[in-house]
Amino acid sequence: MSDDELIWRIAGGSGDGIDSTSQNFAKALMRSGLDVFTHRHYPSRIRGGHTYVEIRAADREVQSRGDGYNFLLSLGDSFARNPQEEAYYGNEEIKPLSENLDELREGGIIVYDEGLIDEEDVEAINLEERAEENDWHVFPMDLRGLAKEHGREVMRNTAGVGVTAALLDMELEHIEDLMSDAMGGEILEANLEILHEAYDTVNEEYDFEHDLRAPEGSHDTEQALLSGSNAIAYAAIDAGCRFIAGYPMTPWTDVFTILSQNFPDMGGVSEQVEDEIAAAALAVGASHAGVKAMSGSSGGGFALMSEPLGLAEMTETPVVLVESMRAGPSTGMPTKPEQADLEHVLYTSQGDSQRVVFAPGNIEEAYEQTRLAFDIAWDYQIPAIVIYDQKLSGENENVDVEFFDREPSPDLGSTLTEDELAEAAHDNSGKFKRFNYDDAENGVAPRSIPGQKGGRYLATGNEHSPVGHISEDPDNRVAQMERRIEKLESIRAELDEERDSTQTYFGPEDADYGIVTWGSSQGAVAEAIERLNENGHSVKGISVSDMMPFAEREVTEFLESVDEAMVVEMNATAQFRGLIQKELGRFGDKMTSLLKFNGNPFEPAEIVEGYEVNLADEDRQPTAQVRIEPAAGD
């Protein structure tokens, strides 16, 4: 556990401005030249209740939350103290301090707001004793009082940042810049005053002997701080998507909100509708009428989309749906991540369902694969789903700005123009053979858009003839079914032959052991592999994105090349391992699983430990928070 990194945790009550404060502080660290990665932990409650954001910053790539952390800024839960709310929430203002101590590293720093957290409560949790044991450096400060004196009580966050900067020996410059960008007038002045007052107070009045300092670094190129939700929404914009319909559900709401806020300026249309069945059906309707459209939800809402999803498959209407997983079943844990909707997304809807499913593992992949989803959906006239989770939705990471410097791709794929329609095949009555199987290429029969001359046809969710008449003719059925299935095979071939791999690899190629993962667990796995190799193990990893059509060749090659593999995923039933076995029909005895489903994402150390217990055959059990599922036959 290196201390060449800062892992700063700001804790308070939900609604206390923890999010915006941390966002700004993360940006200030990024601007000072560091790589940053944020992790957000919050309860399913609007105001009050313990919440925190962690920012990990270092002068090297950081791809995951760290193991524990080393700086706590505990603001207290102001809503617990609100006299009007008291009966409701009880007296919980101590939680942002008490709940965070277990993960604080040895030698770490604690700043808590003694203006909000009472002395007797602090005594009750034996802070002094624990601090001594762990060599923590504790700084009680009246942040609330300081904020009140120079401005308003809510500005205590700013005071906290000022104290942090002083204790870490940071320049205030970037923080000041960000504040002036975000506000103006008296508010800005008051905040600046508070920032400096806090900074100076520490410098003038405190002696401190801790070693932790903000790391120093520099970037060669300009960086942007983005969440997975940002990346997905921006990819949709660049793919030419201009229609979104949705119904709010955490955490998918983020993507929905970002696009709703940007579309008016871009001539796009956003619709909040009555439910998720309607939302996906609207996306299908808009796409049918000639617009690149998307919808999305989280588990429960996606369940309702099963119907329109099937309709899109049968009518070959391109559409992109995104699914941001949270812990289930049912309403589950609304604000906690899990990777347990994989089977739901792959197999929901009746019949021999055909769709494309990508599972990006980090911010760049979220962008890349969302664009790919749009491209493929419109080229092949098939629904494409991007599955990710609450973790990737909400975490922020710095990305090279140039990464986003791409041309938009607003074309409608295999859609004909009126000139082309004039040349296309029609039946005797002049109907366009939109579902023609005779000369379909790669299973794709080009389509027309309502209102185009010469393109008239019927789209139907029933099995249908080439012009769209409902048909139960056996020969037609087989021809249409085979054509639809052929699309998936063609997509797999295109992904294998023409596109860069969307799978991501880690570690030395000739390693003996493998870790297989998917989605947002990727970052922690990547760090764990690095550490395992440093510890003398021989491990490599693959993070798989192509769930349907499955990355058959790449996963086979990977598994063949190792003696044994551990599959890491955030669910209780090893869904991804099951998929590998189903798709490849073997390797059941070669794979064990490391599972975590307690509502918190993996930390790299848990994977290191899990690996050692699992594969390196050491005689101990992992922590209670993760579980090992043995290989078939074990």
Nearer to another protein, 315 or 593 (CB): 315
Residue 422 near another protein by CB under 8 A = no
Name which of 41, 56, 52 is nearest 7 in CA terms. 56
Nearer to another protein, 229 or 521 (CB): 229
- For another protein, which stretch binds (CB under 8 A), given 57-65, 123-131, 247-255, 286-294? 286-294
Q: Could you say which of 275, 489, 557, 560 contacts another protein (CB under 8 A)?
A: 275
Q: Would you say 22 and 10 are in contact if contact means Cβ atoms under 8 Å apart?
A: yes
Residue 230 near another protein by CB under 8 A = yes
Name 400's Cβ contacts closer than 8 Å, sequence gap at least 6: 221, 222, 223, 224
Regarding beta strands 539-544 and 504-506, do their DSSP bridges make them parallel or antiparallel, or are they unpaired?
antiparallel
DSSP at 464:
B
Residue 423 near another protein by CB under 8 A = no
Nearer to another protein, 285 or 601 (CB): 285
Residue 201 near another protein by CB under 8 A = no
Smallest distance from another protein to CB 385, Å: 19
Name which of 184, 244, 231, 214 is nearest 33 in CA terms. 214
Nearer to another protein, 462 or 535 (CB): 462
Nearer to another protein, 408 or 508 (CB): 408
Residue 226 near another protein by CB under 8 A = yes
Residue 61 near another protein by CB under 8 A = no
Residue 558, H or E segment: helix 552-560
Residue 198 near another protein by CB under 8 A = no
> How far, CA to CA in Å, does 436 sit from each of 46, 377, 425, 490?
53, 18, 8, 17
Examine residue 410 and say whether the peptide bond preceding it is cis (omega within 30 degrees of 0): no
Q: Could you say which of 81, 288, 447, 596 contacts another protein (CB under 8 A)?
A: 288
Dihedral-angle region of residue 13 (phi above 0 means left; psi in -120 to 50 means alpha; beta otherwise): beta
Nearer to another protein, 401 or 485 (CB): 401
Phi and psi (nearest 5°) for 229? -65, -40
Residue 126 near another protein by CB under 8 A = no
Smallest distance from another protein to CB 182, Å: 10
Rounded-to-integer distance, Cα 568 and Cα 406, Å: 33
Dihedral-angle region of residue 49 (phi above 0 means left; psi in -120 to 50 means alpha; beta otherwise): left
Residues 437-496 that bind another protein (CB under 8 A): 449-462, 468-470
Q: Could you say which of 49, 96, 115, 285 contacts another protein (CB under 8 A)?
A: 285
Residue 224 near another protein by CB under 8 A = yes
Smallest distance from another protein to CB 297, Å: 14
Sheet of 564-569: strand order equals: 504-506, 539-544, 513-518, 564-569, 591-596, 626-629
Q: Could you say which of 86, 106, 189, 418 contacts another protein (CB under 8 A)?
A: 418
Smallest distance from another protein to CB 174, Å: 11
- Beta strand ranges found along 477-519 (DSSP E): 504-506, 513-518
Smallest distance from another protein to CB 226, Å: 5
Q: Could you say which of 133, 222, 563, 589 contacts another protein (CB under 8 A)?
A: 222
